[in-house]
Amino acid sequence: MRALRRVWSAPWLWLGIGMAQLALAAALAVPLRAVVRAAMGPFTVTGESRLFGALAELVSEHPTTVAAMVAALAGGAALALLLAPVFAGAAIRRLAGPCAKGDQARACVMHYPAALVIGLYGLLLRGLLAFVAAALGTIHSSLQIAAIVLILSFVAVAVDLARVRVVLEGARGLHPKTFLRALITVARTPLLWLRSGLIGALHWGLSLAMLVVAVRGLDTAWSPWAVRGIALLAAFVALWRLAAAVEHVAATTKPSAPPA
Amino acid sequence: MVARTPACQAALAFLLATAACASTACEAAATASPPVSPAIESLSPRVPEPTAALRPPELRGTVPAAAHVVDYVLDARLDAEKHQVAGTVRITWRNPAGTPVDRLPLHLYMNAFRADDTAWMLEARGSHRGARQGKDGMWGYMDVKAVRLIGRGEVADFKMLEGVRGPVTELAWKEDADPSLATVTLPTPVRPGETVVVELEFLTQLPEVFARTGYAGEFHMLGQWYPKLGVLGPDGRWRAHVFTLNAEFYADFGDYEVHLDVPEAMVVGATGIQVAADPPQEGRKKLHYRAEMVHDFAWAADPRFVEIDANWKDVRIRQLVLPDRAGDAPRHLEALIATLESMEARFGPYPWSTITVIHPPADAGGAQGMEYPTLFTTSEIVRFPPWVRLFGIEEQMSGVFTTIHEFGHQYFQGLLASDEAAQPWLDEGLNTTSNMLVLADWHGEDAWIARLGRHGFGIDDFLRGSLDSEAALDPVDSTAETYRAITGSYGDTVYRKTGALMLTLRRLVGPARFDPAFKAYALAWRFRHPTGDDLVKTLREQIGELVTLEGKTVDDKPVRLDIADYFQQALHTVDAVDFHLHLVQNRRRTGDAGWHRDEHGVLNLREPSEERERPISQLSDELVEAVVVVQRVGEFRVPVELEVEFSDDTTERLLWDGQGRYQIFTWPGRRLRAARIDPDSKLLLEGHRLDNHRAVSEFAPADGLSRPVGDLGEALTLTVLGGLSL
């Protein structure tokens, strides 16, 4: 709850990050819409029953639409990888407690390289452990699914913790030791892993919900707005997970009790 | 990793347990059979074996005696370890033609899998419909050990040898250039109407199943497993094709008495009815099957099969399925019954007393989706994991459509036994047509084949999806061997394009004309060997040579559809149907400004009105003229309807015969909003339809695709951003 309170007390942080994501996604969708509009020319498609047939025909006659969609997705992924660490520093700084905008901006800039590198460590580790999960899948697919769930949550929490330590404790961001320490801490603190893992699961659930709503509500007026709403909620939950790491660091760096 | 405190230990345990439970639940939901419903328990009591292979005379429909040409008596022993069948077949054949014949061609279909250089394998290159040739049981063959003439004469009863038995004569026989065919030479010709009885000893080696017939572990599918006689046409020429990749099978009707010797544990499903089962001895058992007025006999065996029986009227339905997929049986039964209801009503009675549905196991995918008389193999119903079902994904292609399609073959090919090698479209395409009609009868005209959320992929999309570049390579009426594997044109052309052309005709002339005509063809040609010409002739006779289509025309002259011309284009060319809205606009109506002679012959000047300089969008409607130009881009000439929408919210439809390259439509004094070609989607042969709906620029609506595509792209990007961020 304390972690949740940290996020709740920083509404502009949450809204700022959420709106940035919405703006980015909307921007990446502009060329995609333009490509489809250009491919359609002066013609139009109406009728719910026609949508998939028309899409199939469009893609078959205009493969550029597929390329545009892939480019939008790839662009989103690349930008997420690059931009998320930018916000991480400011977010951690703010979640640690109220501070001036200038401090947040400085945290963004100062800690961006470390946040980026730690993110890359996390990505590498996920990739490596994915091979392990794949190998377990040859034994039994249940093992594979369980391994994936544990790996993703474990690494995500470790990335959060490492970044928090860099920003709040001045740990050496670029050195892999910081990330390794974070891994060990998470492994030795199952409560943190569990808490953050559950929040992370909620976040993935919201990500899946975005897609489900988008697909089920395809070609309706309400579904894009519902998706955007869920995306804002997902940004909140992502900050909550980060706040859990901030809370852990804050709790474990309390001064020791005076001797009796 | 050390959990120091009890709370930490509990948390760790909870984490691990949660992950394990989630994964197990996901997998269980994805793979496990649905719980056996009460419906199955009520089906599981055995339905008694029918006592006759055909339904009672009042239910079976016409069974012409002249169709009865050849009988087979088979004795076969299955060696389940070696996957071999050793047996004898006695073929009793009556010469139905008007000329004597001195040879008998035999299909040894299994030899297609004998080596890499058979005609079949040269084209298939070791795969068939996505299944690859096995590594262990790579080869299959049929080795004929002996051929003997054991009788000939004039006989009424094919099964009674006494009237025809004579001295046993060893016959000369030889494999043809391709081993899927052999020729038996007779010492003296068989006269018209005379009967000859030939007996063969053979050994069939089954391959690991990848092309309909073979084995997979304990499962054995025996299709085309015995030597089969070719078909003698009325012209006295034998029809016996080399078995190539896309060629299927062709044979005459007759009766079968089949004795199978199999391991005791095997559960067997076969064509026809079981008339006897000897008590097991020494780990084996003998089963006797009978089928009447069929042109093939197939069977399957697997010790793991469970049997699920049901009845439809007096027809016994028997499903043989592995226990882990038994939960699918009710859905297959539902589909089968819907198909029976629809097809009996549309194409006449189903004449046999039994239907056996074989569900090949997952590792026998090559055996799935094949038809034999009174027996067919179906396919698994795909089970989507729960997280996939969240997206609202539903489909009726897997399993359900296979059952519909393979049962449909009981009519198109089972009853109307066309030559699948010469005209594969005549059974596959007409069957696909019937499948679409079944789906419409079952689920309504807007039946879907697959669905994602609110949006479906329907019959129209399914058929139109075939009209891609591959479907433009070969005319529909091509022989099976014309289609080359490398072009990929066979499936789209033979199945779906044929369905599209038949249903386009149905929508153009109307179901009231088409359905009785199609039924007349099915009734006239049951238990016979129809050709494409027979189909076209019947439809022309029933529907009419020239059909006047309903609808207002440009010049008030009726638009007629020439049925012969339609089929000539649809079957014998690769011409495509494609119309395009070349122009949709409002233009200024011409006035009468200028010099004109009055009644006295004097030239008078009428000044142009002030309206002349105003933009069209600001003119009143009576000063505007709506114009639409429809262009026929494709070479296929067929009537097409145009619907226009005016700015006063009224609509109008006009019919064009589609013969010229383009047609201009004008409406003086009307302002156009939009135009649409083929508003009722009658032209299923038109694959390119994105250019069929266009608005005047001043009314330009959204294109209808960029918004949903953009929304989806935005959602995907947000998911990625969310998944990777922070």
| Predicted local distance difference test score (pLDDT) of residue B138 | 87
Q: Judge: A52–B692 Cβ closer than 8 Å, yes or no.
A: no
Q: Judge: A218–B452 Cβ closer than 8 Å, yes or no.
A: yes
| Predicted local distance difference test score (pLDDT) of residue B520 | 98
Q: How far is A107 from chain B (nearest CA, A)?
A: 15
Residue of B nearest to A80 (CA): B721
Residue of B465, B707, B718 with shortest CB distance to A21: B718
Angle (nearest 5°) at CA B274 between B273 and B275: 110
Residue of A nearest to B28 (CA): A142
Residue of A73, A207, A223 with shortest CB distance to B722: A207
**B723 interfacial to chain A (CB closer than 8 Å):** yes
Question: In chain A, which residues have their Cβ closer than 8 Å to the Cβ of B697?
Answer: 42
In this structure, of B275-289, B331-345, B439-453, B510-524, the range with the lowest mean pLDDT score is: B439-453
Cα distance between residue B332 and residue B209, in whole Å: 23
**B8 interfacial to chain A (CB closer than 8 Å):** yes
H/E run at residue B661: none
* B22, pLDDT greater than 50: no
Could you tell me the pLDDT band of residue B264, with boundaries at 50, 70 and 90? very high
Cα distance between residue B98 and residue A258, in whole Å: 117
Bigger pLDDT: B589 vs B28: B589
The strand ranges marked E within B439-578 are 448-452, 455-458, 546-548, 560-562
Tell me, rounded to whole angstroms, the distance of Cα B554 from its chain centroid. 39
φ and ψ of A203, to 5 deg: -60, -45
Q: How far is B423 from chain A (nearest CA, A)?
A: 29
The closest of B522, B535, B607, B586 to B564, measured between CA atoms, is B535
How do residues B308-326 score in pLDDT, each as one tens digit? Answer: 999 999 999 999 999 999 9
**B688 interfacial to chain A (CB closer than 8 Å):** yes
Q: Which position has the token pair 């009845």? A: B311
φ and ψ of B649, to 5 deg: 70, 10
**B709 interfacial to chain A (CB closer than 8 Å):** yes
Q: Judge: B455–A193 Cβ closer than 8 Å, yes or no.
A: no
* B3, pLDDT greater than 50: no
Average pLDDT over residues A90-118: 82
Residue of B690, B701, B716 with shortest CB distance to A54: B690
Question: In chain B, which residues have their Cβ closer than 8 Å to the Cβ of A90?
Answer: none
Q: Judge: B15–A29 Cβ closer than 8 Å, yes or no.
A: no
B596 bridge partner residues: B604
Residue of B27, B694, B708 with shortest CB distance to A219: B708
**B444 interfacial to chain A (CB closer than 8 Å):** no
B174 dihedral zone (left: phi>0; alpha: psi -120 to 50; beta): beta
Q: Judge: B712–A215 Cβ closer than 8 Å, yes or no.
A: yes
Token readout for B225 is 């497993």
**B376 neighbors B76 (Cβ within 8 angstroms):** no
Residue of B24, B458, B715 with shortest CB distance to A210: B715
| Predicted local distance difference test score (pLDDT) of residue B273 | 97
**Mean pLDDT for all residues in chain B:** 90
Could you tell me the pLDDT band of residue B423, with boundaries at 50, 70 and 90? very high
| Predicted local distance difference test score (pLDDT) of residue B406 | 98
pTM summary value: 0.87
What percent of chain B lies above the pLDDT cut of 70? 92
**Mean pLDDT for all residues in chain A:** 84
**B603 interfacial to chain A (CB closer than 8 Å):** no
Question: In chain B, which residues have their Cβ closer than 8 Å to the Cβ of A22?
Answer: 718
Q: Judge: B726–A211 Cβ closer than 8 Å, yes or no.
A: no
**B704 interfacial to chain A (CB closer than 8 Å):** yes
How do residues B53-108 score in pLDDT, each as one tens digit? Answer: 999 999 999 899 999 999 999 999 999 999 999 999 999 999 999 999 999 999 99
Q: Judge: A69–B713 Cβ closer than 8 Å, yes or no.
A: yes
Interface test with B, best of A48, A50, A118 (most B CBs within 10 A): A50
The pairing of beta strand B70-79 with beta strand B254-263: parallel
Q: Which position has the token pair 């496990």? A: B32
How do residues B179-222 score in pLDDT, each as one tens digit? Answer: 999 999 999 999 999 999 999 999 999 999 999 999 999 999 99
Interface test with B, best of A6, A52, A69, A153 (most B CBs within 10 A): A52
Residue of A44, A223, A234 with shortest CB distance to B704: A44
Q: Judge: A17–B456 Cβ closer than 8 Å, yes or no.
A: no
Question: In chain B, which residues have their Cβ closer than 8 Å to the Cβ of A72?
Answer: 713, 716-717
Average pLDDT over residues A201-205: 88
**B602 interfacial to chain A (CB closer than 8 Å):** no
**B281 interfacial to chain A (CB closer than 8 Å):** no
Interface test with A, best of B27, B452, B705 (most A CBs within 10 A): B705
Helices B329-347 and B424-443: angle between axes, nearest 10 degrees: 110
**B715 interfacial to chain A (CB closer than 8 Å):** yes
* B686, pLDDT greater than 80: yes
Q: Judge: A190–B15 Cβ closer than 8 Å, yes or no.
A: yes
| Predicted local distance difference test score (pLDDT) of residue B137 | 83
Q: Judge: A216–B454 Cβ closer than 8 Å, yes or no.
A: yes
Q: Which range scores top for mean pLDDT: A68-72, B158-162, B179-183, B610-614? A: B179-183
Residue of B14, B704, B721 with shortest CB distance to A45: B704
* A250, pLDDT greater than 60: yes
| Predicted local distance difference test score (pLDDT) of residue B622 | 85
Q: By CB neighbour count within 10 A (0-12 exposed, 13-18 middle, 19+ buried), where does B193 fall?
A: exposed
Q: Judge: B715–A235 Cβ closer than 8 Å, yes or no.
A: no
Question: In chain B, which residues have their Cβ closer than 8 Å to the Cβ of A17?
Answer: 725-726
| Predicted local distance difference test score (pLDDT) of residue A49 | 64
Distances (CA, A) of B71 to B94, B196, B252, B261, B327: 9, 11, 9, 20, 38
Q: Judge: B725–A235 Cβ closer than 8 Å, yes or no.
A: yes
How do residues B534-581 score in pLDDT, each as one tens digit? Answer: 999 999 999 999 999 999 898 889 999 999 999 999 999 999 999 999
How do residues A20-39 score in pLDDT, each as one tens digit? Answer: 889 988 988 888 888 889 88
Q: How far is B503 from chain A (nearest CA, A)?
A: 18
Residue of A nearest to B583 (CA): A42
**B712 interfacial to chain A (CB closer than 8 Å):** yes
Residues 652-681 of B with CB under 8 A from A: 674
Q: How many CB atoms lie within 10 A of CB B635?
A: 12
Chain A and chain B share a number of CB contacts under 8 A equal to 267
Q: Which range scores top for mean pLDDT: A71-80, B273-282, B701-710? A: B273-282
| Predicted local distance difference test score (pLDDT) of residue B623 | 87
Q: Which range scores top for mean pLDDT: A52-61, B31-40, B418-427, B552-561? A: B418-427
Cα distance between residue B121 and residue B242, in whole Å: 12
Question: In chain B, which residues have their Cβ closer than 8 Å to the Cβ of A239?
Answer: 726
**B721 interfacial to chain A (CB closer than 8 Å):** yes
Bigger pLDDT: A227 vs A106: A227
Q: Judge: B726–A84 Cβ closer than 8 Å, yes or no.
A: yes
